[in-house]
Amino acid sequence: MSLVSIPVSIGELIDKLVILEIKADRIREPAKLQHINHELDLLTNTWLTSGQAGAEIGAQREALKAVNEALWDIEDQIRQKEADAEFDQKFIELARAIYINNDRRSALKREINRLLGSELVEEKSYPAYAPATGEGIP
Protein backbone atom coordinates (compact mmCIF):
# COMPACT_ATOMS: atom_id res chain seq x y z
CA MET A 1 0.00 0.00 0.00
CA SER A 2 1.20 3.47 -0.74
CA LEU A 3 0.56 6.97 0.51
CA VAL A 4 0.81 10.36 -1.12
CA SER A 5 1.71 13.32 1.06
CA ILE A 6 0.26 16.69 0.11
CA PRO A 7 0.46 20.09 1.74
CA VAL A 8 -2.79 21.14 3.39
CA SER A 9 -3.79 24.00 5.61
CA ILE A 10 -3.79 23.43 9.35
CA GLY A 11 -7.54 24.02 9.43
CA GLU A 12 -8.04 21.31 6.81
CA LEU A 13 -5.96 18.85 8.86
CA ILE A 14 -7.96 19.58 12.02
CA ASP A 15 -11.21 19.25 10.05
CA LYS A 16 -10.14 15.86 8.71
CA LEU A 17 -9.15 14.73 12.22
CA VAL A 18 -12.50 15.64 13.77
CA ILE A 19 -14.40 14.02 10.90
CA LEU A 20 -12.42 10.81 11.42
CA GLU A 21 -13.17 10.98 15.16
CA ILE A 22 -16.88 11.29 14.37
CA LYS A 23 -16.67 8.34 11.97
CA ALA A 24 -14.84 6.28 14.60
CA ASP A 25 -17.65 7.04 17.07
CA ARG A 26 -20.58 6.43 14.73
CA ILE A 27 -19.56 3.70 12.29
CA ARG A 28 -19.76 0.14 13.56
CA GLU A 29 -18.65 -2.03 10.62
CA PRO A 30 -15.27 -3.58 11.58
CA ALA A 31 -13.68 -3.31 8.11
CA LYS A 32 -14.63 0.35 7.82
CA LEU A 33 -13.46 1.05 11.35
CA GLN A 34 -10.09 -0.50 10.58
CA HIS A 35 -9.60 1.92 7.69
CA ILE A 36 -10.91 4.88 9.70
CA ASN A 37 -8.68 4.16 12.68
CA HIS A 38 -5.63 3.65 10.47
CA GLU A 39 -6.15 7.02 8.79
CA LEU A 40 -6.91 8.66 12.14
CA ASP A 41 -3.65 7.27 13.57
CA LEU A 42 -1.63 8.56 10.60
CA LEU A 43 -3.16 12.03 10.69
CA THR A 44 -2.97 12.27 14.48
CA ASN A 45 0.75 11.54 14.21
CA THR A 46 1.06 14.22 11.52
CA TRP A 47 -0.65 16.72 13.84
CA LEU A 48 1.39 15.73 16.89
CA THR A 49 4.67 16.11 14.99
CA SER A 50 3.66 19.33 13.20
CA GLY A 51 4.98 21.65 15.87
CA GLN A 52 1.48 23.11 16.25
CA ALA A 53 -0.11 20.47 18.49
CA GLY A 54 0.33 22.55 21.65
CA ALA A 55 -1.55 25.51 20.17
CA GLU A 56 -4.58 26.92 21.96
CA ILE A 57 -7.32 26.04 19.47
CA GLY A 58 -9.45 23.83 21.71
CA ALA A 59 -12.57 25.98 21.39
CA GLN A 60 -12.31 26.19 17.61
CA ARG A 61 -11.61 22.46 17.34
CA GLU A 62 -14.65 21.60 19.46
CA ALA A 63 -16.83 24.01 17.49
CA LEU A 64 -15.59 22.45 14.24
CA LYS A 65 -16.41 18.99 15.55
CA ALA A 66 -19.90 20.14 16.60
CA VAL A 67 -20.57 21.59 13.13
CA ASN A 68 -19.38 18.37 11.47
CA GLU A 69 -21.59 16.31 13.80
CA ALA A 70 -24.53 18.54 12.88
CA LEU A 71 -23.75 18.09 9.19
CA TRP A 72 -23.65 14.32 9.66
CA ASP A 73 -27.09 14.40 11.29
CA ILE A 74 -28.50 16.74 8.64
CA GLU A 75 -27.15 14.52 5.85
CA ASP A 76 -28.77 11.46 7.46
CA GLN A 77 -32.10 13.28 7.66
CA ILE A 78 -32.04 14.66 4.11
CA ARG A 79 -31.02 11.28 2.67
CA GLN A 80 -33.98 9.68 4.45
CA LYS A 81 -36.28 12.37 3.04
CA GLU A 82 -34.84 11.66 -0.42
CA ALA A 83 -35.37 7.90 -0.01
CA ASP A 84 -38.95 8.55 1.08
CA ALA A 85 -39.49 11.05 -1.78
CA GLU A 86 -40.57 13.66 0.78
CA PHE A 87 -39.59 16.97 -0.79
CA ASP A 88 -41.47 19.08 1.73
CA GLN A 89 -40.63 22.18 3.76
CA LYS A 90 -38.42 20.13 6.10
CA PHE A 91 -36.43 18.89 3.09
CA ILE A 92 -35.85 22.49 2.02
CA GLU A 93 -34.80 23.45 5.57
CA LEU A 94 -32.35 20.56 5.67
CA ALA A 95 -30.89 21.46 2.28
CA ARG A 96 -30.36 25.05 3.42
CA ALA A 97 -28.88 23.85 6.73
CA ILE A 98 -26.18 22.00 4.79
CA TYR A 99 -24.74 25.10 3.18
CA ILE A 100 -25.28 27.26 6.26
CA ASN A 101 -23.32 24.78 8.38
CA ASN A 102 -20.69 24.35 5.66
CA ASP A 103 -20.19 28.12 5.78
CA ARG A 104 -19.69 27.86 9.56
CA ARG A 105 -17.26 25.01 8.98
CA SER A 106 -15.29 27.07 6.48
CA ALA A 107 -15.16 30.05 8.87
CA LEU A 108 -13.85 27.84 11.68
CA LYS A 109 -11.14 26.35 9.47
CA ARG A 110 -10.18 29.87 8.40
CA GLU A 111 -9.99 30.96 12.06
CA ILE A 112 -7.74 28.00 12.90
CA ASN A 113 -5.54 28.87 9.92
CA ARG A 114 -5.32 32.49 11.08
CA LEU A 115 -4.56 31.59 14.69
CA LEU A 116 -1.79 29.18 13.73
CA GLY A 117 -0.36 31.14 10.83
CA SER A 118 -1.10 28.52 8.19
CA GLU A 119 0.73 29.10 4.92
CA LEU A 120 -2.25 27.67 3.04
CA VAL A 121 -5.76 29.07 3.38
CA GLU A 122 -8.87 27.59 1.77
CA GLU A 123 -10.87 30.09 -0.29
CA LYS A 124 -14.60 29.90 -1.02
CA SER A 125 -16.79 32.03 -3.26
CA TYR A 126 -20.55 31.75 -3.18
CA PRO A 127 -23.41 34.18 -3.76
CA ALA A 128 -24.47 36.00 -0.60
CA TYR A 129 -27.64 34.89 1.15
CA ALA A 130 -29.64 36.17 4.07
CA PRO A 131 -30.25 33.32 6.51
CA ALA A 132 -33.59 33.42 8.25
CA THR A 133 -33.58 33.58 12.03
CA GLY A 134 -33.21 30.24 13.75
CA GLU A 135 -31.42 28.72 10.76
CA GLY A 136 -28.54 26.34 11.00
CA ILE A 137 -29.02 23.13 12.86
CA PRO A 138 -32.55 21.74 12.50
Q: From first to last of the 138 residues of the chain, give the pLDDT tens digit.
A: 799 999 999 999 999 999 999 999 999 999 999 999 999 999 999 999 999 998 899 999 999 999 999 999 999 999 999 999 999 999 999 999 999 999 999 999 999 999 999 999 988 888 877 665 555 545
Phi-psi region of 136 (alpha: psi -120 to 50; beta: other; left: phi over 0): left
Break the chain into its structural domains and give their ranges: 10-116
For Cα atoms 93, 95, 98, give the angle at the middle one, nearest 5 degrees.
110
pTM, rounded to two decimals: 0.89
Q: How far apart are CA 121 and CA 61, in angstroms?
A: 17
**Side chain identity at 54, as an amino acid letter?**
G
